[in-house]
DNA sequence: TGTACATCAGTGAACGCGCGTTCACTGATGTAC
DNA sequence: TGTACATCAGTGAACGCGCGTTCACTGATGTAC
């Protein structure tokens, strides 16, 4: 775990490369990530970058992994603000954090959940694992609530749920009940749809306050999950 | 309305250009649309294309408008298969058509609902109008159901709804009640989230049958809208 | 503490490629009398 | 029906640009004895 001076410098440079790539994305979308451009910004020649990333694709993979992790961190932080048994509060705040993170990091969000980057094929096991952290931030709390005796209100019948959503035998340490899985993904897809459409401007002009709409729908999701918030009810 | 021979040939060429552009999108995403490439495929020189579209951006605008219209056509067709007062059936089939169209035309779907194309700014009034046809396919039926005495089951209180979703004064011929608007957009965002995540492979491995999951959630949406389907209930 | 060697960061030139757009032009198609 | 003219489709050369990646190399930094 000890890092030499050289390793530290090297890691800093790797970070700087990623930071500039992120900046490029902000300015021109994911397609604008360019080694030549990064080299220019760093006052290097472009072949020098190949010391740090073997190719453009490898850089993109690193960006994607970091992005999943950053989003997952934000969600976990929101969840951790409440005690373990405050399921509703945890999920509600996690949901708000999902939108908040997406709106403050729009290009990062689109990097992972938007169009695939042309010519890029993400192969990495690591990326899959990082992506799972995001789902886990929602599903973990839901599963805990389920075990504690709060099943989803409109739960799918167990036999049907098992058929539709066969338990993953690969990761037994991360077992989510199929009933929870279906209800959880149903909730997540709704959050995702709202965020995606708002982010890309497809709801423009519909609402006076998007945060209010989102909160309203989050409450409905909580109701569907059979979890009640310690909050004043809606008028 | 009479078209001369020349105009017909011209329109065919315009259509051919768009068709090839679509093919490019299928192969390499929206970023792969290239006038040089189109010219090559048509065995023309690239300046010749400027007779038909003043610029790459204008071509993309045409593609976007066509795409919104094609999706709206598909939705309207699904809805038209049922009589005007079969609200639930209309909406259910419209919802299924939304997913079906997205899955059969993934790149087109991403052209309109995916990442913005770098360097492209859609300015067109026409595009906005075409985009509205898609919402209208859902909201029109919902509004009709509302007027016929089927309010959304979990309707927002009117005063709150009006505040959150101020009626658009611009298009009085297309008036949707705020209560319907909120419930309708809530439903649409959920459909959209499911479609988007499935399309981009983010639900991979979760379900044995995505169509079943989608149908299941569509039923829940119908329930929320207070509309019952003439279908055998779920087991 | 000093020397010999290995490692590593970065250079500069080059490869081959593709892009959108402009310009002055040729030759074919249509139109008016 | 034939002729003179206008319209239009398409050409070929050029502009200036940017891209990812390779290669043989120089010079600095670290390491082992």
pLDDT tens digits for range A186-201: 999 999 999 999 999 9
Lookup: nucleotide whose C1' is closest to B5 CA: C30
A207 near B164, Cβ under 8 Å?
yes
Query: Between residues B97 and B125, which one has the greater pLDDT?
Result: B97
Please report which helix (H) or strand (E) contains residue B136, including its range: helix B125-147
pLDDT at A171: 58
Quick one: pLDDT band at residue A104, thresholds 50, 70, 90?
very high
Contact residues, chain A, for B218 at CB < 8 Å = none
Average pLDDT (B221-228) is 91
Confidence (pLDDT) at B184: 96
Within 13 Å of residue A71, how many CA atoms lie on the same side as its CB? 33
The answer to whether strand D lies under 7 Å from the CB of residue A73 is no
- Looking at residue B205, its pLDDT comes to 85
Q: Is B51:B69 a contact under the CB 8 Å cutoff?
A: no
Instruction: Give A33-60 pLDDT, tens digit per residue.
Output: 999 999 999 999 999 999 999 999 999 9
B182 near A CB under 8 A:
yes
A235 in contact with chain B, both atoms CB, cutoff 8 A:
yes
Which runs of consecutive H residues, i.e. helices, occur in chain A? 5-28, 35-42, 46-49, 56-80, 87-104, 106-113, 125-147, 158-164, 178-199, 210-224
Mean predicted confidence (pLDDT) in B18-30? 94
For the entire predicted model, the pTM comes to 0.94
Instruction: Name the 3-class secondary structure at A234.
Output: coil
Residue A58 CA distance to nucleotide D21 C1' (Å): 14
Q: For residue A168, is pLDDT > 80?
A: no
A91 or B118, greater pLDDT: A91
Using 50, 70 and 90 to split pLDDT, how confident is the model at B228?
confident
Say yes or no: Cβ of B36 under 7 A from any atom of strand D: no
**B85-113 confidence digits (pLDDT tens):** 999 999 999 999 999 999 999 999 999 99
Chain B interface includes A149 (CB < 8 A): no
DSSP of A1-67? ----HHHHHHHHHHHHHHHHHHHHHHHH-GGG--HHHHHHHHTS-HHHHTTT-SSHHHHHHHHHHHH
pLDDT for A192 equals 98
- Over residues A69-93, the mean pLDDT reads 97
Does residue A1 surpass a pLDDT of 80? Answer: no
pLDDT of residue A59: 96
CA dist B21 and B13 (Å) reads: 12
How far is it, in rounded angstroms, from Cα A199 to Cα B156?
Answer: 24
Query: Distance between CA A34 and CA A189 in Å, rounded?
Result: 32
Task: For A11-28, write each residue's pLDDT tens digit.
Answer: 999 999 999 999 999 998
Per residue in B25-59, pLDDT tens?
999 889 899 999 999 999 999 999 999 999 999 99
Query: Is the pLDDT score of A232 beyond 80?
Result: no
How far apart are alpha carbons B25 and B163 in whole angstroms?
41
Stronger pLDDT, A154 or B103, i.e. the higher one: B103
The most confident of A4-8, A176-180, B146-150, B192-196, by mean pLDDT: B192-196
The pLDDT score that the predictor gives to residue A24 is 95
Note the pLDDT of residue B3: 76
Q: Which strand C bases fall within 7 angstroms of a protein CB?
A: 8-14, 18-24, 29-31
Helix segments in B148-177, DSSP class H: 158-164
Q: What is the mean pLDDT of residues B159-173?
A: 78
How high is the pLDDT of residue A118?
82
Query: How does the average pLDDT of chain A come out, rounded?
Result: 91
At residue A226, does pLDDT exceed 50? yes
pLDDT number for residue A173: 60
Residues in A closer than 8 angstroms to B60, CB to CB, are none
pLDDT of residue A125: 86
User: Among residues B174, B190, B23, B22, which one has the least CA distance to residue B98?
Assistant: B190
Question: Minimal Cα distance from A170: which residue of B?
Answer: B205
pLDDT attached to residue A233: 47
A7 CA vs D9 C1’ separation (Å): 62
Reported as half-sphere exposure (CB side, CA atoms, 13 A), residue A31 has a value of: 16
Is the pLDDT reported for residue B121 higher than 50?
A: yes
Say yes or no to pLDDT of B234 above 60. Answer: no
* Any A CB within 8 A of B122 CB: no
Partners of residue B157 in chain A, C-beta under 8 Å: 234-235
pLDDT at residue A121 in the model: 74
Burial class of residue B215 in the structure, from the number of CB atoms within 10 Å of its CB (0-12 exposed, 13-18 middle, 19+ buried)? middle
Residue A234's pLDDT is what?
45
Q: Cβ of B6 < 7 Å from strand C?
A: yes
């Amino acid at each position: 775990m000890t890092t030499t001076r050289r390793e530290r410098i090297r890691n800093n440079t790797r970070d700087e490369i990623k930071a500039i790539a992120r900046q490029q994305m902000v300015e021109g979308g994911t397609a604008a990530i360019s080694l030549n451009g990064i080299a220019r910004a760093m006052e290097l020649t472009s072949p020098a970058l190949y010391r740090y990333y073997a190719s453009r694709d490898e850089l993109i993979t690193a960006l994607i992994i970091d992005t999943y992790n950053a989003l997952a961190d934000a969600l976990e932080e929101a969840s951790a603000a409440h005690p373990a048994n405050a399921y509703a509060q945890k999920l509600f705040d996690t949901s708000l954090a999902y939108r908040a993170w997406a709106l403050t990091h729009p290009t990062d969000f689109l990097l992972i959940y938007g169009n695939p980057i042309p010519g890029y094929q993400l192969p990495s096991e690591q990326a899959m694992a990082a992506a799972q952290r995001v789902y886990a931030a929602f599903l973990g709390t839901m599963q805990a609530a389920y075990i504690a005796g709060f099943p989803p209100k409109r739960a799918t019948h167990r036999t049907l749920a098992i058929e539709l959503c066969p338990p993953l035998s690969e990761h037994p340490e991360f077992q989510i009940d199929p009933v929870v899985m279906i209800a959880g993904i149903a909730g997540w897809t709704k959050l995702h749809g709202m965020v995606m459409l708002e982010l890309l401007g497809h709801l423009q002009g519909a609402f006076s306050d998007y945060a209010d709409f989102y909160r309203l729908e989050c409450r409905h999701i909580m109701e569907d999950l059979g979890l009640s918030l310690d909050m004043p009810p809606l008028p």
